[in-house]
Amino acid sequence: MKKKLTNNYNFWVAEVNLDEHAKRFDFVGYRPNYGGTFARAANIENGTFDFYEVKSSMADFNSGHGKNWEGDHNYLVCERELADKLYKNQLLPNNVDVICPNKLRTGLIKVYSTHWISGRTKAASELLWCMICSRGARYIKRMEEMKNE
């Protein structure tokens, strides 16, 4: 997953908190809209935010945590067995692409799609700030842990 994000996004962060920590996203990736060769400040708001939620089981999916779909593109990442079960039971969330590991587990493939329109309701500046704060908070915590060792 991290390799996919590293290859596809200019900026991505794991465990991003929004709305005073009421919502946490597993991964958020951002690509600016260059509109040419170089990104300009005006193009930042037109960039694309992709939100990824990783679910390991039906119990995890039904836990009530992390089913937040607020990006321009939203992805549910899970094993194929879970994806098929969600599809069969008509539990696939609206506005989400479901991606699963391929057979060799060397990449992710889209297996289902209910994506129609952008689900983003927040400004790019707010989302970028949340990404920066989430990344910075983990960095500070890691530095404190190293100091106490």
H runs (alpha helix) in the chain: 2-8, 41-44, 58-61, 80-88, 124-148
- Cβ(101)–Cβ(83) below 8 Å: no
Render pLDDT for 113-128 as a digit per residue (tens, 0 to 9): 987 777 788 888 888 8
DSSP 3-state of 60: helix
DSSP 3-state of 79: coil
The per-residue pLDDT for 105 is 87
Residue 12 above 90 pLDDT? no
The per-residue pLDDT for 68 is 73
The per-residue pLDDT for 39 is 61
- Across residues 64-71, what is the average pLDDT? 77
DSSP assigned state of 22: T
Mean predicted lDDT score pLDDT of the chain: 81
Range in 5-14, 92-101, 105-114 the model is least confident about: 5-14
The per-residue pLDDT for 81 is 96
